[in-house]
Amino acid sequence: MAPDVFDGERVLAFDLETTGVSTQYDRIVQLALIGANAEGEAIHYEELVNPRRPIPAGASRVHGIYDHDVRSKGGFSTVADAVAELIEGAIIVGHNVRKFDMAMLEGEYLRLGKRAPKPKAIMDTYELVRRLKIGRPHGLGAQCTRHGIALKDAHTAAADAAASLLLFWRLSVDHAPSFRKSIEEIERWAVHGTVGSESTDLGRGLADLEPVDSLGKIRIDDGHMVLAFGRHKGRHLSEIQFEDPRYIHWLLSPKGIEDDEARERVKTYLDGL
């Protein structure tokens, strides 16, 4: 069973209810983060948020939240710091959480002029269901029914978050061989269908390469800098800079590479590409 891979990690199921489905224009009206910290202590964070605009009737019919429910609540800025503290460095579980919930959340932080929190990994059950070729429909409700999970109060943030966590557990039990990997490998497989290994086409294992920083997060292979951790593990920084510049921006912050000297060395390398 895969959840052993979560030992010692903060694991949180995440779900939002919003004014609509546009990650660019719509706003959050409710959010929930449910799970446990690294010591196994329960975390249950659930808040209503005033979107500072009318909630469309169609959205209210889905999630049951109306303008009068949020009128006395604060805007997203009042929960931003607490949410960031929970998500930063955590393993986030959710259904279509990568492309919707996390994208929506990032938009809220951008409006505040803040950096969105960066989870250690995202375990998206929608991606996993598709990667495992489980039959349609792939929506959370249908998948919960298929896997014998009772989903009460569907389309409330807390209920959907908890259901996605149970769905992940069920998938990891029913398809255990696919989950006998590191967190980074499971995420890479879910997104790309491939698993990076220590023995990649770099020719040597990552552990054999010269480290750039004190923790060995960045390593040198034939003059190229290679990432040795996280979802881009085993890839050249030049590739990541082109495909995922926001990740590089985070990597070049003290939270990415803690070693000041190494961070400057990486900046110089990237500037020279």
pLDDT digit string (tens) for 45-58? 999 999 999 999 99
- Look up residue 82 and give its two tokens: 């607490």
Residue 200 inside a domain? The answer is no
Closest CA to 86 of 51, 47, 50: 47
Question: How is residue 239 annotated by DSSP?
Answer: H
pLDDT number for residue 1? 45
Answer yes or no: do 149 and 25 share one domain. yes
Answer yes or no: do 104 and 217 share one domain. no
Sorting pLDDT into bands at 50, 70 and 90, what band is 155? Answer: confident
For residue 51, give its domain range: 2-192
* Whether residue 196 has pLDDT greater than 70: no
Chain position carrying tokens 């943030």: 157
Answer yes or no: do 188 and 243 share one domain. no
List the beta bridge partners of residue 122: 92
User: Considering the chain, what is the average pLDDT of its residues?
Assistant: 90
The pTM (predicted TM-score) of the whole model is: 0.70
Residue 6 inside a domain? The answer is yes
Sort strands 91-94 and 121-124 into parallel, antiparallel or unpaired: parallel
- Look up residue 185 and give its two tokens: 């490998």
Answer yes or no: do 182 and 215 share one domain. no
* Whether residue 3 has pLDDT greater than 70: no
Answer yes or no: do 138 and 255 share one domain. no
Answer yes or no: do 247 and 145 share one domain. no
Answer yes or no: do 188 and 210 share one domain. no
Q: What is the mean pLDDT of residues 98-111?
A: 95
Sort strands 91-94 and 11-18 into parallel, antiparallel or unpaired: parallel
Question: How is residue 27 annotated by DSSP?
Answer: -
* Whether residue 239 has pLDDT greater than 90: no
Looking up residue 170, the CATH number of its domain turns out to be 3.30.420.10
Sort strands 121-124 and 210-211 into parallel, antiparallel or unpaired: unpaired
**Per-residue b/e over 87-113, b at no fewer than 16 CB within 10 Å?**
beebbbbbbbbbebbbebbebbbeeee
Q: What angle do CA 18, 22, 24 make, to 5 degrees?
A: 105
Taking the C-alpha atoms of 92, 98, 103 and 109 in order, what is their torsion angle to the nearest 10 degrees?
A: 20
Residue 199 inside a domain? The answer is no
Q: Which of 141, 157, 192 is the last residue of a domain?
A: 192
Burial of 177 (0-12, 13-18, 19+ CB in 10 A): exposed
- Look up residue 161 and give its two tokens: 């978050």
* Whether residue 198 has pLDDT greater than 90: no
Q: What is the mean pLDDT of residues 264-269?
A: 92
